[in-house]
Structure 1
Amino acid sequence: MENLETWQYIAIGLLFVWSGFVRSGLGFGGAVLSLPFLLLIVNDPLVFLPIIAVHLLVFSSWIAFSSHRNASHRKANHQKVKKETLASGLANDNADKSVSTIDWKYLKYSLGVMIVPKLIGVFGLLSLPSHIMSSIIFAIVTVYAIGYVLNKPFKSNSKTLDTGFLMLGGYISGTSLIGAPLIVAVYASHVAKHQLRDTLFVLWFILVIIKCAAFVWAGVDFQLIHHLWLLPCATVGHFIGMHFHEKMVSAETPTFFRVLGSVLIVISLMGLWQAWG
């Protein structure tokens, strides 16, 4: 990413602000909604994918740590309230409830489903034409997304179907970074709204660690010098997205899922355009 014109550097910086905003606002889409535009500037995915991967590691670990710390504080406060209510002789059934913003149970389950397909994708043990692979994903995601926009979210009654979608998403995330929309579509049906983003961040951290290990093994340049200015850009977007996320979570559930569905549709259309355009 050397010898670019000034406007190109500015455009790349703004796109990483956008990437950080989307990632922290919804918990996904930072790569998928920015990479197509980045490739219009420098048409080489391996220039940007390592940078995006490092950003995912930084911000997902940040979110996970903050969530754990906040949950610990809430637990301590609830225990304090419980002691006070017991001392006063009053019953308080809610005093002991401390809900984490991470759904660890579903996270562990889904990782167990995705890990083998993820490794198969990372090491390229299977080979499917990229445009066909992308089209399958985005077609499935579009079905989910339309349901969210119409406030009639698709709910799979088949554990087998959900497992198949997670395995496909895991495989695609191993070969590239476009598996997130399919994984999110399944997660949104099984994880509570207030836990969705933070649970996804922990999932991305684990999946990206595997991807980064593959980059190191293949000798891919991580563009470390460019992190000095692109990480601050992504951080600005991250804080803006955090504010946006708080507003969305506090809104009514249909509003949240309509926004989620709209973003998934945009991602799907962009993906199909890239695959067949």
Structure 2
Amino acid sequence: MSDLTVVQYILIALIFVWSGFVRSGLGFGGAVLSLPFLLLVLDEPLVFLPLISIHLLVFSSLTIWLNNRKGAKDRQAGGTGTVDWRYLGRLLAIMIVPKLIGVFGLITLPGYVMSSIIFVIVALYSLSYIANRPFRSGSKTVDTIFLMLGGYISGTSLIGAPLIIAVAAQHLPKEKLRDTLFALWFILVLIKLSAFIWAGVDLQLIHHLWLLPAAAVGHVIGLYVHDRMLQAEGSLFFRVLGVVLLVVSTIGMVSVWR
């Protein structure tokens, strides 16, 4: 990124502020809601994916640690932590093999077909949340298929989050949804980042000196917004979630159709 203009650097910094805000505000979307904009500035995915991966590792682990440290007294009084470790284990058991298949490219599916299916499903889920009638599949088989698809896409491009959260949001209380997803993203992204290192991909470490602070600004704003949403009525949380999912699916479908 050494040959970019000043305007491009500013735009990239602002997009990473947005990425940090979305990630901490909702618990997902840091990659899928920022990567399309980043590629408009510089059409080189392998420049940005390592940056996004390391940011997620830093901020997800920091958020979980701070939240659980803050809630230690509550747990002593009979409360629980902010991560549902049992459900996290179930998610990983379903997703780990498709994740590895995606990471190492053992199965190559037509990108436009897979993307189209995912974004249509996500759009339907988002509309149900906006209408305050969250879709319940009522089928473990359907949930498993969605999670396997999400794991595969996460392995190939780190944008499988919308499909995964469409399932996870049905089974987790809103107080534990974000941090449980953070723990899941940490594990999945660590696998992807290891593959980057193994393949000799440049991790762009020098650019963290200015992009980590940018993402941190958005992260702090997102934490405040997330706390406000948790204090609001439950339907508001899911409506906001639905709007974000609809934006994600719309951006994705436009990109695919082009």
TM-score by structure 1 length? 0.91
2:14 maps to a residue whose letter is L
CA distance in 1, matches of 2:94, 2:133: 26
Q: What is the percent sequence identity of the aligned residues?
A: 63
Which residue number corresponds to residue 36 of structure 2?
A: 36
Deviations 1:172-223 (A, max 9, x none): 1001111000001111001101111111000000000000000001100000
Tell me which of 131, 148, 166 is aligned to 1:185.
166
- Consecutive unaligned residues in structure 2, runs of 5 or more: none
Q: Which residue is equivalent to 1:237?
A: 218
Deviation (angstroms), 1:163: 0.7
> 1:220 maps to which residue?
201
- Match of residue 128, structure 1, among 109, 121, 127: 109
1:164 to 129, 135, 145: 145
Deviations 1:50-101 (CA, angstroms, capped at 9, x unpaired):
000000000111122123323322223x2xxxxxxxxxxxxxxxxxx31221
**Contact 1:149/1:258, CA 8 A, preserved across alignment:** yes
Q: Root-mean-square deviation (CA), in Å? A: 0.9
- 1:146-194: per-residue Cα shift (whole Å, max 9, x none)? 1100000001111111011101100110011110000011110011011
Write out per-residue CA displacement over residues 118-160 of structure 1, whole angstroms, 9 at most, x where no aligned residue. Answer: 0011010111111111111111111111110000000111111
Is contact 1:67-1:102 (8 Å) kept? Answer: no
Q: Which amino acid aligns with 2:211?
A: L
Give every structure 1 segment of 4 or more consecutive aligned residues whose post-TM-superposition deviation is greater than 4 Å: none
Q: Which runs of 5+ in 1 are unaligned?
A: 79-96
Distance in 2 (CA, whole Å) between partners of 1:71 and 1:170 is 30
- Structure 1 residues 37-186: aligned runs within 5 Å: 37-76=37-76, 78=77, 97-186=78-167
TM-score, scaled to structure 2: 0.98
Please say if residues 113 and 166 of structure 1, whose CA atoms lie closer than 8 Å, have aligned partners that are also in contact.
yes
Q: How many residues align?
A: 258
Distance 2:111 2:44 in 1: 16
Task: Provide the secondary structure at the position in 2 that maps to 1:4.
Answer: coil
Q: C-alpha separation between the residues in 1 aligned to 2:18 and 2:99?
A: 27
What secondary structure does 2:137 align onto?
coil
Structure exhibiting the larger radius of gyration computed from Cα positions: 1
1:81 is aligned to none
